[in-house]
Amino acid sequence: MTEYEIVIGLEVHAQVLTDSKVFCGCSTEFGASPNEHTCPICLGLPGTLPVLNKKTVEYTIKTGLAMNCDIAEFSKFDRKNYFYPDLPKAYQISQYDMPLCKNGYIEFWVNGEKKRVGINRIHLEEDAGKLVHAGSIAESQYSFADYNRSGIALMEIVSEPDIHSPEEARLYLNELKKILEYLEVSDCNMEEGSLRCDANISLRPVGTVTFGTKAEVKNLNSFRAVQRALEFEAERQADLLREGGKVIQETRHWDESKGITIPLRSKEEAHDYRYFPESDVPPLVIKDSWVDEIKRGLPELPAVKRARFVNEYGIPEQDVEVLTETKAMADFFEECVKDYNEPKTVSNWLIGEFLRLLNAEGIEIKESKVTSRHLAGMLKLIKDGTISGKIAKTVFEEIFKTGKTAEIVVKEKGLVQITDEDAINDVVDKVISENPGAVEDLKAGKNKAIGFLVGQVMKETRGRANPQLVNEILRKRLL
Amino acid sequence: MVKRILSSKRQTMKNTIDINTVKRMAFLSRLEISDSEAKEFSLQLSETLNYVHKLNELDTEDIEPTIHVLPLKNVLREDKVRPSLTQERALMNASCKEDGYFKVPKIVE
Amino acid sequence: MRLNEFTAQALRSMVVAGEISCREIIESVLHCIKERDGEIKAYVNVTGEEALKKADELDDKIRRGEEVGPLAGIPIAVKENICTEGIATTCCSKMLANFIPPYDASVIKRVKDAGAIIIGKTNMDEFAMGSSTETSCFFQTHNPLDTQRVPGGSSGGSAAAVAGHESILGLGSDTGGSIRQPSAFCGVVGLKPTYGRISRYGLIPFASSLDHVGTITKDLTDAALLLRIIAGYDEMDSTSVNMEVPDYVKGLKDDLQGLRIGVPKEYFVDGISSDVKEAVFKAIDSFEAMGARCEEVSLPHTEYAVATYYLIASAEASAALARYDGVRFGYCHEDAEDIVSMFSKTRGHGFGSEVKRRIMLGTYALSSENYDTHYLKAQKVRTLIRRDFDRVFENVDCLVSPVTPSVAFKLGEKLNDVLNMYLSDVCTIPLNLAAVPGISIPCALSNGLPVGLQIIGKHFQEEMLLRVAYAFEKNVDFREVNVGEGGRKV
């Protein structure tokens, strides 16, 4: 691929996290029975009119601010006309030439270097319904339309063609998702369709500036799919060009199972969307005071938080990356540090045990029973010697499972560390008598044997003996 | 003045909407029309378009188009959920439905 | 005089005084419908049974001494493009022949709350596209004053119903003159208020930025009464304006002293019949006699209004009527192999030719290669037309003009002359483009047929319009003003 430069631009549709739809009062809740979250407005019944949801505007502006955009002083809505059975009015209320936000950028790290990708625009629009193809597509004669999604607010975030590798594309999306989650303006759930991405990709000979012909790739259902599809598409286009062929401007469909992109059969001649102003929705005049008010509500953004965690808590960069992956994790960390002021220990537990358990269960931090208090409480028990670090893992698993506090778990399971010398001496007696070989080895100067003997004592006490104490006692008695 | 008349004549010619254009517009509008309708529409639409071409007499270079007829702005509602229709009522006017869905001919993607 | 021949205001006081019951009013109107509608065909659907039930409910309330609304028991005829919950609302199109709205238009809610009783749904041109009520998919409506003639359109059914005493009040819609022109042809009062004054929620759109709901009544007082009920902000319509609604009935004053009335010279051009001109000039004389100062003014871009209108209205219609695809409501052509053909067949068979013609014109005007030269150009000219009104209203309080170039024409006379039919809206269209209010009142007779007078006001100055029209109504009996040959004969 060295002879061609890859040029990628991404269009992301993110569902705006509101209770009601953008132009009507229907609920946006996921998972209802088909067409139960519909009303005359989002079904496009004749005579109905749209009324704009204020929060969708504010959240879009908020996103624009977080992505360093210029916020429009004047913005309007337009009708985008096309026929498709999932689009009830046969036009989508969208924004054509006066989007809410323009000219921003996102920064993130690629292989240790800071990368900036421009944001061309962010605009607000309504989603279409969903078509379900019953049974096997080949067999069924029908498709089925469910308009619960119809009229849900979407932000379309369009990047500049500043992305130059499939990996960069994935990292860009990762950062974008993180920002949206931090802002709490979208829940970015790709499975539920609340985050969707289309990619434009073209190649040009290295050193040239003119753009090559692009293909648009659709049906990208995960960030990994984006990267894989773009890798495939870059290779496909490069092969074509190397053989002296031409890339055709077209829309291609990513086939996840086969790992290839295929051209969409397009019966229709090129779309003509016939955009024109939506006169049913008065325009938006956005004063500085409104923007300032929204700005005051902005949370700390991922990039700023990362830098602060490194400086304020002295946590290594790689760990900070994991710790700030979600706002929930970062907040958990800071809450926990308030109760137990050893940031590194807290961080290690979070990105170690806690993340392992979360991943194993496949749940989000917010869904887990563990609170920052739980963790801080347990760490205190380790520190004051009530439990050993080793036992703590068992304790934490139990907290994770039951949501009980560390104190209760330790009490119920009898996991208090044995620090009573007499009690340990009794076990040591037993271990010495049962392991004469190891005792001989130790006496003969084989220091390794001490580890084995300590291990045996720990085994006998089911891990509850204080290992330092066991070590001391063994040394005192045998050396 | 002469230039204006000439350009207006050219416009008149160009504006005549032929049967192919009528068919393209009909397709874009998803209207099945017969050949005889296409012919009739071609004549009528040409007549109308030749008439509306009258607007070219006006110089509108520096005129802002009307986007909204009244100076309304920022008409917004709070993000409150209101009751939806029941599934039955949502579907009551559909001629093809099944299991709570609207039914359409198979979509081939 | 039979009850159905009274005005709403008169019936109201009789009801309040306990002289008549609501049932008697409804029965009287239903009787008239039974007698006359076979010939006039104003209604596509008469909801008599339900209306009588409502009347009885109201009568019970009145008997119990309970509060009833200001329009209690008054029958109202509703145009077939205004949604009524549970009552078919078809736009007189095959496309919507089976459509039962699951909701009421906001104006319907308001008239119901005021106690008015829906007596039926009235005929109209298909999707309000027409000026004669001849493009209805059901049948033609006849002018009650001369059944060989059209009632005008597109609100021809409502105008004919009110003029024929088949209803007391009427609701219509006006996109380019569709209330004022049929009102002029039928000799009743038709009011198109300012855009945004009355909610459009539930009015099935033809062209969003030009559509208005308005009133058709027997006189000015009823117009004021009905407007007062249906005007005002509605949270369901973002383009309805949040402004106080004055008591229009109280505002009716027979006093034009010192008022400045403009007479736009462009509304008297060739094509306007001499009878109509004569009638309007006579009206102007009357206004002067009442103390108003009339002066000639100019709205220089008037001649471009029709062209501007047809581009914008058709463009908006092409989008507004795109939703009729057979999936969620309306006619569906089920015998189709795929979705594209289902859409095309449904729309090709469901719409009549006038509707198809306008959709295609609109699609053409919006398509990428024509957008700038057609749609955008028209929106720029629309700005010029609006400015004309702004400028002229700096110096006058209102304008008077003809409504239509001629009196009601014969059925079938213009049906096939598309462009000529469009051109006959020249006096009414500019108001829709500029969003200014206008009222049509009868001002004379030409061979026994009424001639309409249009009074045009500033934005949200309906009070002024009503006042000027009211003074005319008080001082001039139009039945005694004969123009044309009839005029000379007298």
C322 contacts A90? CB cut-off 8 A:
yes
Top residue of B48, B64, B87 to mutate, by most chain C CBs within 10 Å, is B48
Task: Report the alpha-carbon distance of residue C373 to residue B14 in Å, rounded.
Answer: 12
Q: Which residues span the domain enclosing A376? A: 300-413
- C49 in any annotated domain: yes
Top residue of A142, A274, A275, A281 to mutate, by most chain C CBs within 10 Å, is A274
Residues of A in Cβ contact (< 8 Å) with C239 = 49, 279-280, 282
Beta bridge partners of A114: A109
| Predicted confidence band of residue B13 (pLDDT cuts 50, 70, 90) | very low
- C170 in any annotated domain: yes
Cβ atoms of A459 and A430 within 8 Å: the answer is: no
A 10 A CB-CB count for A50 gives 23
- B20 in any annotated domain: yes
DSSP string, A327-345: HHHHHHHHHHHHHS--HHH
- B50 in any annotated domain: yes
> Does residue A417 have a pLDDT over 90?
no
Dihedral (CA of C51, C52, C57, C58) sign = positive
B32 touches chain A (CB under 8 A): no
Shared-domain flag, residues A24 and A90: yes
- A10 in any annotated domain: yes
- A295 in any annotated domain: no
DSSP letter at A313 equals H
| pLDDT tens sequence across C259-299 | 999 999 999 987 899 999 999 999 999 999 999 999 999 99
Q: For chain B, how many residues are written?
A: 109
A145 contacts C368? CB cut-off 8 A:
no
Q: In this structure, which amino acid lies at residue A439?
A: V
Q: Which of B26, B58, B72 has its CB closest to that of C241?
A: B72
Q: Which of C100, C364, C383 has its CB closest to that of B65?
A: C383
Task: Report the alpha-carbon distance of residue C341 to residue C347 in Å, rounded.
Answer: 10
Catalytic positions of C: 79, 154, 178
Residues of C in Cβ contact (< 8 Å) with B55 = 304, 307-308, 311, 377-378, 381
- A265 in any annotated domain: yes
Cβ atoms of C186 and C450 within 8 Å: the answer is: yes
Q: Which pLDDT score is estimated for B3?
A: 37
Q: Which of A208-217, A452-461, C58-67 has the lowest mean pLDDT?
A: A452-461
Residues of B in Cβ contact (< 8 Å) with A271 = none
Mean pLDDT of chain A: 92
Question: For C396, what's the count of Cα atoms within 13 Å in the CB-facing half-sphere?
Answer: 25
| pLDDT tens sequence across C111-147 | 999 999 999 999 999 999 999 999 999 999 999 999 9
> Does residue C489 have a pLDDT over 70?
no
Which residue of A lies nearest to C205 if distances are taken between CA atoms? A47
| pLDDT tens sequence across A153-210 | 999 999 999 999 999 999 999 999 999 999 999 999 888 889 999 999 999 999 999 9
Which residue of B lies nearest to A85 if distances are taken between CA atoms? B104
B46 touches chain C (CB under 8 A): no
Q: Which pLDDT score is estimated for C397?
A: 98
Residues of A in Cβ contact (< 8 Å) with B93 = 45
Long-range contacts of A453-456 (CB under 8 A, 24+ apart): A456/A431
| pLDDT tens sequence across C370-398 | 999 999 999 999 999 999 999 999 999 99
Cβ atoms of A153 and A126 within 8 Å: the answer is: yes
Cβ atoms of A91 and A272 within 8 Å: the answer is: no
- C224 in any annotated domain: yes
Cβ atoms of B66 and C386 within 8 Å: the answer is: yes
| Predicted confidence band of residue C420 (pLDDT cuts 50, 70, 90) | confident
A47 touches chain C (CB under 8 A): yes
Residues of C in Cβ contact (< 8 Å) with A52 = 238
The first and second tokens of residue A424, run together, are 């340990």
Q: In this structure, which amino acid lies at residue A34?
A: P
Top residue of C360, C361, C460 to mutate, by most chain B CBs within 10 Å, is C360
Task: Report the alpha-carbon distance of residue C380 to residue A398 in Å, rounded.
Answer: 72
* Cα–Cα nearest to A215, from A253, A170, A164, A163: A253
B48 touches chain C (CB under 8 A): yes
> Does residue B7 have a pLDDT over 60?
no
CATH for A430: 1.10.10.410
Query: Number of folded domains in chain C?
Result: 1
**Per-residue CA distances from A365 to A319, A327, A357, A359, A453 (Å):** 17, 10, 10, 10, 40
The first and second tokens of residue A437, run together, are 């070989």
- C352 in any annotated domain: no
Residues 6+ positions from C323 with CB-CB distance below 8 Å: A44, A46, A88, A89, A90
Q: What is the CA radius of gyration of chain A?
A: 30
| Predicted confidence band of residue A441 (pLDDT cuts 50, 70, 90) | confident
Look at the block and give the residue holding tokens 């002295």.
Answer: A314
Which residue of C lies nearest to B34 if distances are taken between CA atoms? C348
Task: Report the alpha-carbon distance of residue C316 to residue C208 in Å, rounded.
Answer: 7
Q: Which pLDDT score is estimated for B56?
A: 96
- C477 in any annotated domain: yes
| Predicted confidence band of residue B104 (pLDDT cuts 50, 70, 90) | very high
The first and second tokens of residue C230, run together, are 């249906």
Shared-domain flag, residues A278 and A195: yes
| Predicted confidence band of residue A135 (pLDDT cuts 50, 70, 90) | low
Shared-domain flag, residues A45 and A151: yes
Shared-domain flag, residues A233 and A376: no
Task: Report the alpha-carbon distance of residue C185 to residue C164 in Å, rounded.
Answer: 12
Distance from CA of C363 to the nearest CA of A (A): 8
Task: Report the alpha-carbon distance of residue C205 to residue C96 in Å, rounded.
Answer: 13
The first and second tokens of residue A48, run together, are 């109905």
A221 touches chain C (CB under 8 A): no
Q: Which residues span the domain enclosing C232? A: 1-297+399-490
Task: Report the alpha-carbon distance of residue A342 to residue A314 in Å, rounded.
Answer: 10
Judged by DSSP in three states, C120 sits in strand
Shared-domain flag, residues A104 and A189: yes
> Does residue A238 have a pLDDT over 90?
yes
Shared-domain flag, residues A277 and A316: no
- B52 in any annotated domain: yes
3-state helix, strand and coil shares in percent for chain C, rounded to the nearest 5: 45, 15, 40
- C315 in any annotated domain: no
Give percent of chain C with pLDDT exceeding 90: 94
Task: Report the alpha-carbon distance of residue C198 to residue C189 in Å, rounded.
Answer: 17
Burial of C10 (0-12, 13-18, 19+ CB in 10 A): middle
B31 contacts C304? CB cut-off 8 A:
no
CB within 8 Å of chain B, chain C residues 386-415: 386
The first and second tokens of residue C195, run together, are 């855009």
Residues 6+ positions from C104 with CB-CB distance below 8 Å: C83, C84, C85, C112, C202
Which of A387, A413, A439 lies at the terminal end of a domain, its last residue?
A413
Shared-domain flag, residues A210 and A337: no
Query: Number of folded domains in chain A?
Result: 3
Q: Which pLDDT score is estimated for A443?
A: 84
Residues 6+ positions from B29 with CB-CB distance below 8 Å: C318, C322, C347, C356, C359, C360, C363
Global pTM value: 0.91
- C356 in any annotated domain: no
C239 contacts A274? CB cut-off 8 A:
no
> Does residue B12 have a pLDDT over 70?
no
Q: Which of B10-19, B94-103, C91-100, C245-254 has the lowest mean pLDDT?
A: B10-19
Shared-domain flag, residues A354 and A268: no
Cβ atoms of C426 and C481 within 8 Å: the answer is: no
Q: Which of B32, B69, B108 has its CB closest to that of C435?
A: B69
A45 contacts C238? CB cut-off 8 A:
no
CB within 8 Å of chain A, chain B residues 67-96: 67-70, 72-87, 90-91, 93
Q: Where would I find the beta strands (DSSP E) of C40-183?
A: 43-46, 75-79, 117-122, 169-174
Cβ atoms of C8 and C169 within 8 Å: the answer is: yes
- C358 in any annotated domain: no
| pLDDT tens sequence across B47-60 | 999 999 999 999 99
> Does residue A100 have a pLDDT over 50?
yes
**Per-residue CA distances from A98 to A10, A16, A95, A132, B68 (Å):** 20, 19, 6, 34, 14
Q: Which residues span the domain enclosing B45? A: 1-57
Q: Which of C102, C241, C326 has its CB closest to that of B92?
A: C102
Pairing of strands C438-446, C398-402: unpaired
**Per-residue CA distances from A178 to A121, A286, A333, C471 (Å):** 18, 26, 17, 69
Give percent of chain C with pLDDT exceeding 70: 99
* Cα–Cα nearest to C214, from C177, C182, C174: C174
| pLDDT tens sequence across C15-61 | 999 999 999 999 999 999 999 999 999 999 999 999 999 999 999 99
Task: Report the alpha-carbon distance of residue C327 to residue C193 in Å, rounded.
Answer: 35
H or E, element range at C277: helix C274-289
> Does residue A270 have a pLDDT over 80?
no
Q: Which pLDDT score is estimated for A139?
A: 66
Task: Report the alpha-carbon distance of residue A352 to residue A368 in Å, rounded.
Answer: 15
- A360 in any annotated domain: yes
> Does residue A305 have a pLDDT over 50?
yes
Residues of C in Cβ contact (< 8 Å) with A266 = none
Q: Which pLDDT score is estimated for A265?
A: 64
Cβ atoms of C211 and C129 within 8 Å: the answer is: no
A143 touches chain B (CB under 8 A): yes
- B83 in any annotated domain: no
Q: Tell me the average pLDDT across A274-288.
A: 97
